[in-house]
Amino acid sequence: MIGIWSSSSIDAARHLQSRELQKLPHHACDRCDRVLSVDETIERFCERCDHSTNPSEKKDAAA
């Protein structure tokens, strides 16, 4: 059937995508070390800390 995916196929695709995304560089808050969203990186403001931040680029696996 067209358009029908099994649960195991979807889980496998998500797992592969997750591993690939972890290899990408990301930006983290210099205070709490949380991975920042694109908006937070552009605005240089961490919503968790509620303070301005100087994002640092990380290349290790994102948490």
pLDDT tens for 2-17 read: 556 567 777 777 776 6
What is the residue range of 63's domain?
Answer: 27-63
Query: What's the structural domain count of the chain?
Result: 1
Measured in whole angstroms, the distance separating CA 28 from the mean position of its chain's CA atoms is: 10
Q: Is residue 44 part of a domain?
A: yes
Reduced to 3 states (helix: H, G, I; strand: E, B; else coil), residue 1 is: coil
pLDDT of residue 46: 93
- Check: CB of residue 49 under 8 Å from CB of residue 31: yes
| pLDDT over 90 at 22, yes or no | no
Residue 62 lies in a domain: yes
Q: Is residue 32 part of a domain?
A: yes
Per-residue confidence band for 52, with pLDDT thresholds at 50, 70 and 90: very high
Q: Could you tell me if residue 52 is inside a domain?
A: yes
- Phi, psi at 5, each rounded to 5°: -115, 140
Say if 37 falls within a structural domain: yes
16 falls within a domain: no
Tell me which residue has tokens 């070390």. 33
Least confident of 10-14, 16-20, 22-26: 16-20
pLDDT at 61: 53
Q: Give the rounded percent of residues in the chain with a pLDDT score beyond 90.
A: 22
Distance between CA atoms of 55 and 27, rounded to whole angstroms? 6
Instruction: Note whether residue 17 is domain-resident.
Output: no
Is residue 22 within 8 Å of 14, Cβ to Cβ? no
